[in-house]
């Protein structure tokens, strides 16, 4: 198992305690859920089954996106992305859920 850092400023430290797989599963589920929540708040009218609706700016809630950006959601998503354990079976879906809101935050129409 790999050590889990609890403090983002302590990346790379190997003296942190190791967690068992159930804690790691819980963390991956929490990170994935948080990414989906950020995406759902940013684009509340989009249908996850329809990829073409996600590409349109008409589905974005610009007020919510601006608030999320003002309160550091983009930075928090990047820190969360760094916490994804690449060896975990949920790594791909968790990283995808965290990257989707970042794509919205970086659109030129949002600024």
Q: Which residues contact 83 (CB under 8 A, 6 or more apart)?
A: 5, 27, 31
Give the tens place of pLDDT for each residue, 23-33: 889 999 999 99
Q: Residue 110 above 80 pLDDT?
A: no
Residues 6+ apart with CB under 8 A from 61: 41, 42, 43, 44
What does pLDDT average to over the chain?
Answer: 78
- In percent, the amount of the chain with pLDDT more than 70 equals 68
Q: What is the pTM of this model?
A: 0.69
Taking the C-alpha atoms of residue 17 and residue 12, their distance in angstroms, rounded to an integer, is 13
Task: Give the model confidence (pLDDT) of 100-109 as tens digits.
Answer: 999 988 887 7
pLDDT at 107: 85
Q: Would you say 104 and 42 are in contact if contact means Cβ atoms under 8 Å apart?
A: yes
Coarse DSSP helix, strand, coil percentages of the chain, rounded to the nearest 5 percent:
60, 0, 40
Smallest CA-to-CA distance from 40 within 51, 54, 28 is with 54
- Best mean pLDDT range from 13-22, 45-54, 86-95, 101-110: 86-95
């Amino acid at each position: 198992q790999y050590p889990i850092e609890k403090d983002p400023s302590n990346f790379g430290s190997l003296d942190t305690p190791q967690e068992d797989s159930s804690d790691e599963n819980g963390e991956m589920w929490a990170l994935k859920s948080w990414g989906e929540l950020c995406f759902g708040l940013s684009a509340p009218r989009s249908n996850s089954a329809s990829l073409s609706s996600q590409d349109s700016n008409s589905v974005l809630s610009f007020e919510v996106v601006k608030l999320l950006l003002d309160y550091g959601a983009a930075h928090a998503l990047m820190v969360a992305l760094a916490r994804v354990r690449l060896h975990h079976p949920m790594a791909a879906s968790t990283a995808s859920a965290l990257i989707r809101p970042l794509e919205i935050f970086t659109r030129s129409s949002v600024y």
